[in-house]
Structure 1
């Protein structure tokens, strides 16, 4: 692993020697719990899109803007909210961010109209980038340098667990008790995450950061831009396809709506396994791992489009897509830290913003394809094309670095 990553971890937090030798610091569990709640907030609506659109009297593509609006707000929060919190001790910063989470999800659960729901989504999203940006650097600082990617993958395991268990459960709750009940449950998870952060995350010093201008300056480096662009394309493609998966499964593949939560469980299993294995692979070689995954992912998304009328093959392709997509998360996160190790928190948060900017773009492109009457499979095709651009950017970045 690059020495820049280790330096990033060290500069973000200065825990004692004992915690760094632990295989699993209890603070990682608390960070994963927070990630679980945030993952629920972002992804659970994918299984409730039809219900939300019907209740709020908007079309499915318009309801999709609740997803892309959230993702765009993540970008704003990651760059600017995080910027103001860089010099705040990490534990306190995480608690401040969870206030946004609680307020936003409470507003979403109560929302009497589409506009109020969108406002709640935006408020909740402001915590997303900062939580994962600050949390990822803090997580890396709690373990030995050669376990940085694994520590980050443990934190992101909360995000993937939200897909394995939380999203299907939230979809089931929404189908049984109404989609608003799901957001009340998410709010309760936020309360538990706040307690976990207070109890388990160690109090460490704030990052010795320069000016906000110098922090943003680190993001203008060529390879940092390449890393962020890769993240935008790779994840934009995958989630552009995934966020319209519920109508695809019910209207094209032929599954009943009651089967959707269980199909999302299988997708989540792929995410969870991919995230953990991807962390181990990235600890060995970031570049080799990303080369393989950025090629395999768009191919798999295209296969999903081709077999979407065959139930068994659709399920397999869905699981593989989740596995490959989240196997790339630790490597993508560490790549940007490798080239911006002197501004780790801002670089980490910027890459989280890139995940969600890609998400927003992918969902909007998929929505345009639907609105143009290209059919329920069209978001999958646009996702495959968009994701393939990630491999193109990686090749460009590698050639530029060699020169």
Structure 2
């Protein structure tokens, strides 16, 4: 692996820990801050909201600077705001801290995706982007289970200290290894914003926001699902999250190769349909511990296999405004994060059991697949736009 890609992977690792460890820490944070688990779920939505706000805004502001400088500033923001989270004394402060910590997330992946695709070998762009997203999957194999273990047995605040350390290491790696790619010359922000006039862009945004929301409807409540329905002990969650992370790691690389082989659009619709089916199976088999663990791996793999194809689909759609579009796709992912956590929590608030969010997720993934089908159908009619 190129060292420049390794720096992006480290950034993905830190971002992945801070985003996904919240799912495993919900009971601990709820107890410490004296709030309910559904209220703690709002902290997941707060982070996602920060991504939605920060992704297009920060790229629009900083897009004319060299990518290396942009990435370093974003990682500095990430490190500082996660340090703020570690010392948050109450729910309201933690909500603000999580909102601020989400601001650099989408912009980092947006800029990083474009950089990764530019330094990739020809024909391996999606695989290069998948190496950056590998940081997210490694986070779910190592960082999230470790953070969850520390949160259960010591304090969730120590988990955020670890995130800060990863952020500092990433900063040093970016400074040492990231090539000094030139800034965009004669940048025309108004022209870049024409991206939002394309119907295809909105189909992709809806596809991501609703389709990937299926993942978060399941994963946001995975801890209580496994303890209350599957019957696992709270200490077992750490090990099961490792299984989920391994699935995500495997799926991430499969998705990159699939997108390079059959096209990002076709890979995306295939994987969203598979995610819908997988979540439906999770709903029915979660009462069996063996099947619950197997489907945790499978669902994680399918969900993260879609990450690179979707990102490449957005980049290919937005010729001339790739960096902005790539950041928008990350904002859309986190709209999905917020939607999944919110919609998945509605049946819980109504008194249904912890399998109900998974059913909501299955419907969301299938709806996302419908938008992907509409995108492909449109691209076949408009031959000058070769998205499929």
Could you state the TM-score of these two structures normalised by the residue count of structure 1? 0.92
Distance (whole Å) between structure 1 residues aligned to residue 310 and residue 220 of structure 2: 21
- The structure 1 segments of at least 4 consecutive aligned residues displaced by more than 4 Å after TM superposition are none
Deviation at 1:208, TM superposition (A): 3.4
Matching residue within 353, 377, 384 for 2:355: 377
How many residues in Structure 1 have an aligned counterpart in Structure 2?
A: 380
The answer as to whether partners of 2:207 and 2:368 remain within 8 angstroms in 1 is yes
CA distance in 2, matches of 1:76, 1:209: 25
Q: Are the counterparts in 2 of residues 234 and 325 from structure 1 also a CA contact under 8 Å?
A: no
Alignment of 1:359-374 (within 5 A): 359-374=337-352
Contact 1:32 1:158 in 2 (8 A): yes
Q: CA deviation at 1:291?
A: 2.9
- The answer to whether residue 250 in structure 2 is matched with residue 304 in structure 1 is no
2:385 matched to which residue of 1? Answer: none
C-alpha offsets along residues 212-240 of structure 1, whole Å, 9 cap, x if unaligned?
Answer: 23222213312222222221122111111
How far apart are the structure 1 equivalents of 2:228 and 2:186? 51
Contact 1:75 1:129 in 2 (8 A): yes
Conserved? CA contact 1:103–1:123, under 8 Å: no
> Which residue, out of 258, 273, 292, partners 1:295?
273
2:103 to 126, 140, 151: 126
| Distance in structure 2 (CA, Å) of the matches to 1:204 and 1:174 | 40
Where do 5+ consecutive residues of structure 1 fail to align? Answer: 1-23
- Report the counterpart of residue 14 of structure 1 in structure 2: none
Contact preservation (8 Å) 2:210, 2:339: no
CA distance in 1, matches of 2:140, 2:290: 20
User: Where does residue 64 of structure 1 map in the other structure?
Assistant: 41
User: Does the CA-based 8 Å contact 1:240-1:380 persist in structure 2?
Assistant: yes
**Which secondary structure does the structure 1 equivalent of 2:187 belong to?**
coil
Aligned residue in 2 for 1:257: 234
In 2, the alpha carbon distance for the partners of 1:309 and 1:112 equals: 37
Instruction: State the distance in 2 between where 1:328 and 1:102 align.
Output: 28
Instruction: Look up the match of 2:204.
Output: 227
CA contact (8 A) 2:46 2:96 kept: no
The match for 1:160 is 137
Report if the CA contact (8 A) 1:25-1:143 is conserved. no
Distance in 2, matches of 1:187 and 1:231, equals 29
SS of match in other structure, 1:146: coil
Match 1:103 to one of 65, 75, 80: 80
The question of whether the paired residues in 2 share the 8 Å contact of 1:88 and 1:206 is answered with: yes
Deviation, 1:209, is 6.0
Report the RMSD for the aligned CA atoms in angstroms: 1.1
Note the 1:20-59 alignment, pairs <5 A: 24-59=1-36
Matches within 5 A, 1:58-207: 58-207=35-184
Indicate if the aligned counterparts of 2:106 and 2:331 stay in contact, CA closer than 8 A: yes
Alpha-carbon displacement from aligned partner over 1:129-152 (angstroms, at most 9, x marks no partner): 110000010011112221110110
Structure 2 CA distance for aligned equivalents of residues 263 and 233 of structure 1: 26
CA contact (8 A) 1:105 1:124 kept: yes
- Answering whether residue 380 of structure 2 is matched by residue 395 of structure 1, we say no
The answer to whether structure 1 residue 218 and structure 2 residue 218 are counterparts is no
Q: Is the 8 A contact 1:219 1:340 kept in 2?
A: no
1:350 pairs, out of 286, 310, 328, with 328
SS at match of 1:58: coil
Give 3-state SS (helix, strand or coil) of 1:391's partner.
helix
Question: Hey, what's the Cα distance between the residues in 1 that align with 2:318 and 2:351?
Answer: 43
Distance 1:354 1:235 in 2: 9
User: Contact (CA 8 Å) 1:209, 1:343: kept in 2 or not?
Assistant: no
Could you say which residue in structure 1 is the equivalent of 2:386? none
Contact 1:25–1:142 (8 Å) recurs in 2: no
Query: How far did residue 295 of structure 1 move?
Result: 1.0
Equivalent-residue separation in structure 1 for 2:117 and 2:165 (angstroms): 28
**Aligned residue in 2 for 1:323:** 301
3-state SS of paired residue (1:48): helix
Which runs of 5 or more structure 2 residues have no equivalent in the other structure?
382-388
Q: Distance in 2 between matches of 1:219 and 1:276?
A: 30
**Corresponding position of 1:18:** none
